[in-house]
Structure 1
Amino acid sequence: MIKIVEAADRDTNVEYIDQMHRMRAEVFADRLGWDVTVNNGREADRFDDEDPAYLLAIDDRTGTLNGAVRLLPTTGPNMLRDVFSVLVPDGAPESPLIWESSRFAIKPAINKAAHVDANFVVNRMTVELLCGIVEVCRSAGIAQVVSVFDARMARIFRAVGCPFTPIGRPTRIGSVMTYAGIFDMTDELRAKLGRAGGFNGRVIP
């Protein structure tokens, strides 16, 4: 199940938000070694102060957090424009119909395969979150989502049938090649993702 937590819902979801920041520290600092700020075991940045919408993947049986992603409008502060501008020398997309996804994270202990080919396995929670992004965008009238990702995520997108249009100029940041891409939020995309992950019904109640 995907739970949407917006600014107005923050006070009633304190425990889930805390779990999310702890998970992000585990994923981005401990596992991936990114240069992120961690305080008291929790990762957060200035974009968490911009009233984003969080999509949280919640285990239906235990109620625990399995994954999360952050959504921000491109008309305000966002990571592509304000942190990764080197990727888009001609400027980042900015429109009320385009949101940015960032801090996409899956709890490292989760290991549920959704899509397998000869060499590749994708975590099922990854596909559930992608389905959730499409569903919330379709409901809100958002046409596209822009995101910054590395080659590993690009391969995941391709494996589960989540096409993107590269924008700007891929650049090595730190030790990884980093890309910016834009995704069309369509019913066709949601259907493809549903088939890849076995999510026939809505993942957002």
Structure 2
Amino acid sequence: MFNLINVEYKDIINDRLEELYLLRKRTFKDRLNWKVSCKGEREFDEYDNENTHYLLGCYNGELICSVRFISMKYPNMITGPFRDFFHYTAPADNTLLESSRFFVDKDRVKSLTETKLPFCHLLFLGMINYTRAIGMTGILTVCSRSMYTILKRSGWNTEVETIGNSEKNEPVYLLRLAIDDDSQANLIKYIRRYHYCDEYYLKKWPVYL
């Protein structure tokens, strides 16, 4: 069984938070070699705080994927460490969410030989469903060229706000991610190729399969 839920920072239990930070370190430091803040085997920073919501995707109780959400009215990655990447003034809009630390743990997914669930697309869909459910209007995120390609191919409608350069002098994209009906429908269509269920359940929040 797969379930995708939202948890506030203040409510997440310590064991699950430790697991989240461990998987983030494994993704962003060990695999991608990003310049991230690590302490031991955990990756976390000042944006993991009381203003943060996490979406947590678990398969049979094991954490598989996650993304971090912060309202644009609070300090976030776009107004913080990413601001020097772009010639851009981020809107202080309390109807927009900033997303960061998106990951799907490849090792854990590879070990799940009994399922072909498209966890990446389920997380994309969950981001749309959650944002709609709490009455927000869209999502801003910064991503690499490869992630931008994945987003476009998924059927999620995206708008490039601006393109900049990372600390590695590589192109990075600041995107506005739509939460429209077409994006939701495109992702649902893709997911149903691998796991057939009524569309009604895939339009709801939280997501349970």
TM-score by length of 1: 0.86
Between Structure 1 and Structure 2, how many residues are aligned? 191
Q: Note the alpha carbon deviations across 1:64-94, whole angstroms, 9 max, x for none.
A: 0001100000011010111111344230122
Name the structure 2 match of 1:105: 103
Aligned counterparts of 2:178 and 2:33: Cα–Cα separation in 1: 30
Return the letter of the residue paired with 1:83.
Answer: P
Instruction: Give me the whole-angstrom Cα distance separating, in 2, the residues matched to 1:26 and 1:5.
Output: 21
SS at match of 1:181: strand
Rounded Cα–Cα distance in structure 2 between residues aligned with 1:7 and 1:172: 28
Q: Which segments of 5 or more consecutive residues in structure 2 lack a partner in the other structure?
A: 112-116
Bigger mean CA deviation after superposition, 97-106 or 189-198: 189-198
Deviations 1:73-122 (A, max 9, x none): 0011010111111344230122011000000011121149xxxxxxxxxx
Aligned to 1:57: 57
Residue equivalent to 2:71: 73
User: Pairwise CA RMSD of aligned residues?
Assistant: 1.9
Does structure 1 residue 204 correspond to structure 2 residue 202? no
Contact 2:9 2:48 survives alignment (8 Å): no
Could you tell me how far 1:5 is from its partner in structure 2? 0.7
Equivalent AA in structure 1 for residue 105 of structure 2: K
Identity of aligned residues (%): 24
Identify unmatched segments of 5+ residues in structure 1.
Answer: 113-122
Q: What's 2:145 paired with?
A: 151
Counterpart in 2 of 1:2? 4
Aligned pairs for 1:182-193 (under 5 A) are 182-193=176-187
Q: Give TM-score scaled by structure 2 length.
A: 0.84
Deviation at 1:190, TM superposition (A): 1.4
Q: Secondary structure at the match of 1:178?
A: strand
**Any conservation in 2 of the 1:163–1:183 contact (CA below 8 Å)?**
yes
